[in-house]
Structure 1
Amino acid sequence: MTDGPTRDAFLPVAAQPSVDTLVAYAQEAEELGYDRAWIPETWGRDAVTTLTAIAERTDSIGIGTSIANVYSRSPALIGQTAATLQEVSEGRLRVGLGPSGPAVVEGWHGADYDRPLRRTRETIDIARLVLSGERVEYDGDIFQLSGLRLRCDPPDTLPGIDAAGMGPKSVELAGRFADGWHALMLTREGLRDRLADLKRGADLGDRSVSDLRVTLSLPCIALDDRERARQLARNHLAFYVGAMGTFYREALERQGYEDEAVEIASEWANGDHEASMAAVSDELLDDLGIAGTPAECRERYAEWEAIDGVDAVSVSVPRGADPDEISATMRALAPE
């Protein structure tokens, strides 16, 4: 862990005008002093091509996937890709992996959402073997590989491989097998509970939790128009709970918001998105992120950074924000 949390930029998950737009966000984040630019991968632009463009047109900011799912690429290809991105970025890569969910894996990629935790573990194992440059010999429950090694030179510095997770078992897996954990959709108290799961996983793997990096993706929108900021945050939360499978709803239920989670998901499923957004209370909104004026967002951001065990807090702007609102939020919450 670092001496104090770094401040990262989580590039927008929603569609943007162009790859150049995403590169411009990363360049702005670099100028503002953010430590790393993370990019998600859903059903828009792929993360690898976009990160390559960012790496070529920035100088110092770290880059990373948050997250690349473990179904749409083979574990060996993930290892090859990590080696290549580490070369292109001159050592600035960190890899975030996870199973995503059925909406993406089955609905977009046409793959069976089978054994997500086991697949994540084996993917981490194999990607590490590929990155080592040694011959890959692996006899897993899902993958059996033998006979080949990376054809190019392996990276001088191996990129860290983090696992994403919201539930106890997935976070335990991160602690036991990955180099770090990507946290999301968590209240401060929920985050502390999952940090206990991370430590349990580290103990099971005979590792020190202090050697693992914890990155929190925190929904943030800081605008002079406070009501606009909070409406964007409500829309973002309702979409994820209502449209992206059961994982986000279950995460809220575990954290004491069962009735609201069910209502948000039910209204969205019924096609009443306005009612779904209205079901997001102010309390829930403020428990899961920060939305409001720049001054109040800066104050509340510091509360999240103060949580013991968190190494980086990513400024993650809601999906409906336009480019000016994204830039305004990054500027408002830039490292001092």
Structure 2
Amino acid sequence: MELGLSMIGRGLGPDDLRQLGTRAEAAGYSSLWTAEAWGADAFTPLAFLAATTSTIKLGTAIAQIWARTPGATAMTALTLQQLSGGRLQLGLGVSGPQVVEGWHGVAFQRPLAATRDYIAILRSALAADAKVIHEGEVYSVPYAGPGASGLGRPLRSTQPGAPDTPILVAAMGPRNTALAVEIADGMLPYLWSPVHWREAWGDTLAQAPDGFQVSPTVVAALGDDLAACRNQVRPRIAMHVGGMGSRDQNFYKALVERYGYEEEAAIIQDLFLSGDRGGAVAAVSDQLVDELALVGPAAHVADQLAAWREGPLATLIVEPTTGGAIEQIAEIWSTL
């Protein structure tokens, strides 16, 4: 299993990015990962890092499919593969209706069908060995639906192909995990449990082909005060379990329930949606924090990491709450 570093929470100034890339490579991280919601995009920082690093892999965890057409993502990926010497790992996800409709201004519709079409078009475009033709349920190329001019024609990329670009899908629920296993090279889960992952994903991952990459992101809060470190992570878990989605459709809450925390998840959501954010945070147990995050002194984190290493992971993407922990996490990792 490799160690990756999430850039969430890190500065995007040129000096900050340059130093981050240098530090990550020197510390022994195998990959750097960006993300996007409704602020910075996922790809621009990777273009900068492609020019200021030499060996570290560069990934998106995740880029939103609704933010770009499949053709636009293919152009971006092909360009980054040239700039980076083939170091891009393309992580994609559907996000949620709050972001898709509230920020991108497009309908959040049929996410599984959209993902299937998107990746099929992407693979064809990234191969760059034939004209792209795909008739799908959500995306079709060339477009011939309502409002079409009738002048669209199949095209092939003018850039060198990159057919081996790994495509990973953000997946948590049973159906999108099964889709990832079927059509992608890997999956990017969140709130992964090294203790209870089998209850949520075991049957589906047992069907995955050899080489399928499971690469979760885990928040890491390091420090001598274990309670204080847990408290750094607790609000993040409360927000996802309690407020990311509606009462009836929250993928994070459903995942934690599959881990066996049904009662705790219900309490967190009830408190969060009632407006009692502090109560929701306090309802996140130490046990759940320790299961979903890396927290506390180095010895405690080392014990946690040993458990993570026993699972089916290809890359563990750590998201430190402070930049000072970057080298410390890599050092702990190297001793295991």
TM-score when scaled to structure 1? 0.88
Equivalent pair of 2:27/2:327 in contact (CA under 8 Å) = no
Report 1:70-109 matches (<5 A).
Answer: 70-109=65-104
Which residue, out of 154, 165, 174, partners 1:168? 174
Asked if 1:39 corresponds to 2:34, the answer is yes
Equivalent pair of 1:215/1:311 in contact (CA under 8 Å) = yes
1:60-87 CA-to-partner distances (Å, cap 9, x unmatched) read 1000001111111111111111111111
Asked if 1:130 corresponds to 2:128, the answer is no
Equivalent pair of 1:34/1:334 in contact (CA under 8 Å) = no
Match of 1:206 in 2: none
- Given the superposition, is the C-alpha separation of residues 139 and 17 from structure 1 closer, same or farther in structure 2, using an over 3 Å criterion? closer
Which residue, out of 148, 157, 176, partners 1:150? 157
- Give SS of 2:284's match: coil
Letter in 2 for 1:315: V
Q: How far apart, CA to CA, are the structure 1 residues paired with 2:300 and 2:22?
A: 26
1:186-229 CA-to-partner distances (Å, cap 9, x unmatched) read 322442241421333x4xxxxxx213112122222222332331
Q: How far apart, CA to CA, are the structure 2 residues paired with 1:226 and 1:25?
A: 26
Q: How far apart, CA to CA, are the structure 2 residues paired with 1:328 and 1:276?
A: 32
1:33 deviation in Å?
A: 0.4
- Give SS of 1:46's match: coil
Q: How far apart, CA to CA, are the structure 2 residues paired with 1:96 and 1:329?
A: 26
1:102 deviation in Å?
A: 1.8
TM-score when scaled to structure 2? 0.88
Q: How far apart, CA to CA, are the structure 2 residues paired with 1:264 and 1:170?
A: 25
Runs of 4+ in 1 over 6 A off after TM superposition: none
- Give SS of 1:220's match: strand
Which residue, out of 192, 201, 224, partners 2:198? 192
1:43 deviation in Å?
A: 1.8
Equivalent pair of 1:222/1:332 in contact (CA under 8 Å) = no
Q: How far apart, CA to CA, are the structure 2 residues paired with 1:181 and 1:85?
A: 21
- Give SS of 1:79's match: helix
Match of 2:53 in 1: 58
How many correspondences in the alignment? 318
Match of 2:334 in 1: 335
Asked if 1:310 corresponds to 2:313, the answer is yes
1:162-182 CA-to-partner distances (Å, cap 9, x unmatched) read 111011111110110001111
Q: How far apart, CA to CA, are the structure 2 residues paired with 1:263 and 1:328?
A: 37
Q: How far apart, CA to CA, are the structure 1 residues paired with 2:83 and 2:180?
A: 27
Equivalent pair of 2:21/2:52 in contact (CA under 8 Å) = no
Max radius of gyration: which structure? 2
Q: How far apart, CA to CA, are the structure 2 residues paired with 1:130 and 1:67?
A: 20
Q: How far apart, CA to CA, are the structure 2 residues paired with 1:93 and 1:124?
A: 16
Report 1:175-324 matches (<5 A).
Answer: 175-193=181-199, 194-200=201-207, 202=208, 209-245=209-245, 246-307=250-311, 309-317=312-320, 321-324=321-324
Long gaps (5+) in structure 1: 203-208
Q: How far apart, CA to CA, are the structure 1 residues paired with 2:110 and 2:298?
A: 42
1:257 deviation in Å?
A: 1.2
Match of 1:205 in 2: none
Long gaps (5+) in structure 2: 143-153
- Give percent identity, aligned residues only: 33
- Give SS of 1:37's match: strand
Asked if 1:67 corresponds to 2:67, the answer is no
Q: How far apart, CA to CA, are the structure 2 residues paired with 1:335 and 1:104?
A: 38
1:9 deviation in Å?
A: 1.0
Q: How far apart, CA to CA, are the structure 2 residues paired with 1:152 and 1:120?
A: 24
Match of 2:145 in 1: none
Match of 1:10 in 2: 6
Q: Please provide the CA RMSD for this pair.
A: 2.0
- Given the superposition, is the C-alpha separation of residues 333 and 40 from structure 1 closer, same or farther in structure 2, using an over 3 Å criterion? farther
Q: How far apart, CA to CA, are the structure 2 residues paired with 1:29 and 1:228?
A: 26
